[in-house]
Amino acid sequence: MFDWIGDAIDWIGDGISSLWDNTIGSAVDTITDAIWDVMFEWLFNLIYGAVADLFEFINASTSSIFALSWVQSFIALFHSLAWMLFVCGLIVAVFDTAIAYESGQANIKNTCLNVLKGFMAASLVTVVPQRLYSFCVNLQGTFSSDLLGNFISGTTTTVADSGLTVIMALAMDVSLFSLFFIILFGYCTV
């Protein structure tokens, strides 16, 4: 008997809902989408900037780490330590050869070879690690250039520059997918 009242209330509710969706609701959705886009772009640019700064820092530190004064001090310390150990080893080798010579078991050739090995070790203990580090950085840059060559067109010679190029390529597309990969790339680097 009072079904017509329920139908009238449903009709009024549908009218209000339709009016809300076509006027205020669409305006609220547009404003919400605009606010979300601005916040997401701000977050994206913040994370992108942090990762880009990290790669710039890595590139700057790897290229000039051996020019730092405290690194040069450590290198000089180990250089002096190597030569002191060489001198101590040389003295021990001479006395050992002299003692062995008295009993007739001296082998001067082996002693000279060991002294030569010690001289080479003391001379190269501070040079080889630096050259090896530079070689590894260059090799890593070459590998990254070759491996990332298919992903980006203009590869660079250092890992940090390659990382910056990848981050910049990802930054061209402001999306949740790119943000995820920038965070992932930065995490893998750290």
Burial of 109 per CB tally in 10 Å (0-12, 13-18, 19+): exposed
Domain boundary assignment for the chain: 26-189
User: What is the structure's pLDDT at 115?
Assistant: 92
Mean pLDDT of the region 171-178: 70
The candidate with the shortest Cα–Cα distance to 19, out of 30, 27, 8, is: 27
With a cut of 60, say whether residue 142 has pLDDT above it: no
The candidate with the shortest Cα–Cα distance to 160, out of 61, 56, 63, is: 56
- Kindly report, residue by residue over 28-72, the tens digit of the pLDDT: 777 888 888 788 777 777 777 677 667 666 755 666 788 888 888
The candidate with the shortest Cα–Cα distance to 159, out of 130, 129, 188, is: 188
With a cut of 50, say whether residue 152 has pLDDT above it: no
Residue 139 contacts residue 31 (beta carbons within 8 Å): no
Residue that has been written with the tokens 């000089």 in this structure: 76
**Confidence (pTM):** 0.45
> Regarding predicted confidence, which is higher, 136 or 79?
79
Burial of 56 per CB tally in 10 Å (0-12, 13-18, 19+): middle
CA distance 7 to 15: 12
User: What is the structure's pLDDT at 137?
Assistant: 66
- Kindly report, residue by residue over 72-125, the tens digit of the pLDDT: 899 999 999 999 999 999 999 999 999 988 888 888 899 999 999 999 999 888
Six-digit token pair at 29? Answer: 């959705």
Give residues with Cβ within 8 angstroms of 71, minimum separation 6. 65
Residue 160 contacts residue 52 (beta carbons within 8 Å): no
